[in-house]
Amino acid sequence: MTEKFAAAEIIAAKRDKSELSDPQIDWIVDAYTRGVVADEQMSALLMAILLNGMSMREISRWTDAMIASGERMSWPQLKVPTADKHSTGGVGDKITLPLAPLVAACGVAVPQLSGRGLGHTGGTLDKLESISGWRASLSNQEMLNVLQECGAVICAAGSGLAPADKKLYALRDVTGTVPAIPLIASSIMSKKIAEGTESLVLDVKTGSGAFMSDPSQAEKLAKTMVELGKRAGVNTRALVTAMDVPLGLTVGNALEVRETLEVLAGGGPSDVVELTLILAREMLSMAGVDSDPEVALKSGSAMDRWRKMIIMQGGDPDAPLPTARERHIVNAESTGTIIEMDALKVGVAAWRLGAGRSRQGEKVQAGAGIEIHAKPGEKVRAGSPLFTLHTDEPARFELALDALVGATEISASAEVVKRLPLVVARIN
């Protein structure tokens, strides 16, 4: 067939800081998905977008073109409103796990399409796969069955959902173009809009362990995504939240599932509980449901939803969680108050222990990761445990310990603890 445009012309236009027209955007996304535009040509365009940016109109059209590359889901069979949450990822960020069943227990359905970890940020699907028998891949009909039965489903996006994004994401990952806000925003929102949820809360992380470490850039990304949601008719809100310190007291797949069970049982670390409740209240208010998630957490109804969801996806909620074969304790070198803990360094250490992968498709260790024994603001004594490292391969300890050098700062004097507030900004 005769193509409407030439890729080189579109690359040159963005190189020269021109705005791309709607037909140009529609064509380039479609032609790349069909294999007409080569990887090297799309790589050049992605770099031009990274360097020269895109207008809001261009980002919106690019997002629409990615959605149009595949199917768009909807849930008319459900008799309750739908809401979802997306996190840009962080260290110890297991919030999706308790949040989905909690919101379901309050009367809102949660169709949650999640991803895998890459680099130092953990993936929700990797965490859940540490549960014996649990399946990430579900057909649309299976998703609907789980939603109808227990109100929440957490699974992988099928190949039919925004296939252009899958292809573009893999290319961005190897061409140094991941940090471009137009590309991040359109990647996230194309999948979330195609997923068919009525309301969406975005949890945009900022701080050393986040993808967007600078709060002003995180806020810019949040505003861009909220605008994309609005243009697509999805009720969208964003919170910019702290990722300067790991969330909770565990980093790693099975370790984070264990902590999730503590939260669902009415306990768990205060920051995980607080952020779970904040996001649950946002999702419920957007869905127009007046229900107190704290009651559902304490009554055990959120735990009941969790167990049902795990069983319906082939998992055994009573099976013991995997544990790593080897452990190593890192002790405090001095007495005083912890005033800083670098989330990035802790995340990289957990990744080096085997909790994450260095390339797509690599297998992760279910039991690998880090337990944190004290957080900023807490007093420690010299020789008391700070971290316990877990891995199946003892040779990994040295690499992880290298990553943890300077991860914590302990002060003998009563210095101010260096922390971001849990919620840095809110964008409606």
Is 71 a member of any domain? no
Is 406 a member of any domain? yes
Q: Which of 312, 342, 375 is the last residue of a domain?
A: 312
Please check whether residues 393 and 333 belong to one and the same domain: yes
Within 10 angstroms of residue 135's Cβ, the number of other Cβ atoms is: 16
How many domains is the chain partitioned into structurally?
3
Cα separation of the two ends of the chain: 45
pLDDT at 211: 85
Please check whether residues 308 and 236 belong to one and the same domain: yes
Q: Which of 323, 265, 227, 285 is nearest to 98 (CA)?
A: 265
- Across 231-241, b (16+ Cβ under 10 Å) vs e yields bbebbbbbbbb
Is 153 a member of any domain? yes
Is 157 a member of any domain? yes
Please check whether residues 175 and 301 belong to one and the same domain: yes
Is 223 a member of any domain? yes
| Half-sphere exposure (Cβ direction) of 322: Cα atoms closer than 13 Å | 24
Is 58 a member of any domain? no
Q: Which of 42, 37, 150 is nearest to 101 (CA)?
A: 150
The pTM score is 0.94
Please check whether residues 278 and 250 belong to one and the same domain: yes
pLDDT at 52: 98
Domain of residue 17: give its range: 7-53
Please check whether residues 349 and 213 belong to one and the same domain: no
* Pairing relationship of beta strands 385-391 and 369-372 according to DSSP bridges: antiparallel
Q: Which of 290, 312, 334 is the last residue of a domain?
A: 312
| Half-sphere exposure (Cβ direction) of 179: Cα atoms closer than 13 Å | 10
| Active-site annotation, residues | 86, 165, 172, 187, 191
Domain CATH number, residue 244: 3.40.1030.10
Distance (Å, whole) CA 394 – CA 387: 16
Domain CATH number, residue 335: 3.90.1170.30
pLDDT tens digit sequence for 146-156: 999 999 999 99
Domain CATH number, residue 17: 1.20.970.10
pLDDT tens digit sequence for 349-381: 999 999 988 766 778 999 999 999 999 999 999
Is 68 a member of any domain? no
CA distances from 336 to 219, 327, 331, 340 (A): 34, 25, 13, 12
pLDDT at 118: 66
Please check whether residues 358 and 259 belong to one and the same domain: no
pLDDT at 338: 95
Please check whether residues 266 and 392 belong to one and the same domain: no
Distance (Å, whole) CA 216 – CA 362: 34
Is 425 a member of any domain? no
Please check whether residues 15 and 48 belong to one and the same domain: yes
Please check whether residues 357 and 221 belong to one and the same domain: no
Q: Which of 256, 277, 312 is the last residue of a domain?
A: 312
Please check whether residues 217 and 125 belong to one and the same domain: yes
Q: What are phi and psi of 138, to 5 degrees?
A: -130, 145
Please check whether residues 342 and 228 belong to one and the same domain: no
pLDDT at 80: 95
Distance (Å, whole) CA 414 – CA 341: 16
Please check whether residues 93 and 13 belong to one and the same domain: no
pLDDT in tens, the chain (428 residues): 789 999 999 999 999 999 999 999 999 999 999 999 999 999 999 999 999 999 999 999 999 999 999 999 999 999 999 999 999 989 999 999 999 999 999 999 999 998 887 677 778 999 999 999 999 999 999 999 999 999 999 999 888 889 999 899 889 978 889 889 999 999 999 999 999 999 999 999 999 999 899 999 999 999 999 999 999 999 999 999 999 999 999 999 999 999 999 999 999 999 999 999 999 999 999 999 999 999 999 999 999 999 999 999 999 999 999 999 999 999 999 999 999 999 999 999 999 999 988 766 778 999 999 999 999 999 999 999 999 999 999 999 999 999 999 999 999 987 788 899 999 999 98
